[in-house]
Structure 1
Amino acid sequence: MKQDDSVKPELVEAHEGIKVLRGGGKEFRRGWNGIQYQQGISGRNVGSKNLSINVATVPPGAIAYAHIHDGFEVMLYIVNGKVRHDFGPDLKYSVINEGGDFIYIEPGVPHEVFNIGDEPLTAFVARSTADEWDKIINYPSNYRPEDQKSEAELVTAAK
């Protein structure tokens, strides 16, 4: 899923061995798959080799369609809100988390994210790669519009 995440390196202050993004990148966001991300830091703006972090906001009722993290780990801290992850082969497992919970997602685990609360979900997201946007792969979803089968396809599949 390689795409430009429009990182603005000019927002980063460079010091001797330390780089700072003031205000958590609040003034700059990118959208992906139903989620709004504050810029955060990654290889694209601070030159990190193995890490990236940002803050994700998921509106009530939004879905981050099924995907896989190819070759990198993800750790989340749910700041507030309530989220359901459907995961595993055919997304057959489910877990619900809320504010104060930590989540670890192994590389290659298919998962789909649902904000099941009445408020925006906010999560701190850390990844074990500096180029995460290049390593996200779509996984079949029953909710993603382009994955929906037509009535004719469903009838044909049932035969």
Structure 2
Amino acid sequence: MLRREDAMPESADETVEGAPIVLTRGADAPWSGHRSGMSIQFGVSGELSGSRNVFMTHQRIPPGMESTPHVHTNCETAMFVLAGPVLMRHGPALELEHRAASGDFLYVPANAPHQIVNPSRTEDAAVVLCRDAAEEIVREL
């Protein structure tokens, strides 16, 4: 939900005056490998753009890839599925599943056990992730 400026509490204005708006061009941002087998392209982070509270990546998930079960201890995660399907296992024992398709959104609370899976045997999946911390802290389960 969007709010008008006059409806925002005074404490919401934490903008650093004079801080630059930073553009990271996707064509220029390198892809890097991840321990899970995903390829990650960093777009917004503390190191890359000076962000204090936002972390955003574009991730390719190869066919059949399963991340290790894990939690993000310091942040919430929002995910937008660009190309799917993406299977999100969750719950204390990863006993629950959401199957997301292209155009779907997923929300993962801080400290929520989860595992990302590409159930396709032939096609990459792709997602955009955004977290409410400039750097994430991950604990594998």
Fold shared, TM-score > 0.5 on shorter chain: yes
1:93-120 CA-to-partner distances (Å, cap 9, x unmatched) read 1111111100000111001111012310
**Which structure has the larger Rg over C-alpha atoms?**
1
- Structure 1 gaps of 5+ residues are 1-14, 140-159
> SS of 1:20's equivalent?
coil
TM-score (norm 2): 0.80
* 1:130 matched residue in structure 2: 134
The yes-or-no answer on 1:121 pairing with 2:125 is yes
Which residue, out of 54, 65, 68, partners 1:65?
68
Q: After TM superposition, where is structure 1 displaced by more than 6 Å over at least 4 residues in a row?
A: none
- Classify 1:26/1:48 alpha carbon distance in 2 versus 1 (closer, same or farther; 3 Å): closer
Q: TM-score, normalised by structure 1?
A: 0.72
Superposition CA RMSD, Å: 1.7
Structure 2: distance between partners of 1:16 and 1:71: 25
Percent of aligned positions that are identical: 27
Does 2:48 align with 1:41?
no
Q: How many residues align?
A: 123
Please say if 1:96 is aligned against 2:99.
yes
Higher helix share: 1
AA of the residue aligned to 2:76: E
SS at match of 2:26: helix
Matched position secondary structure for 2:47: coil
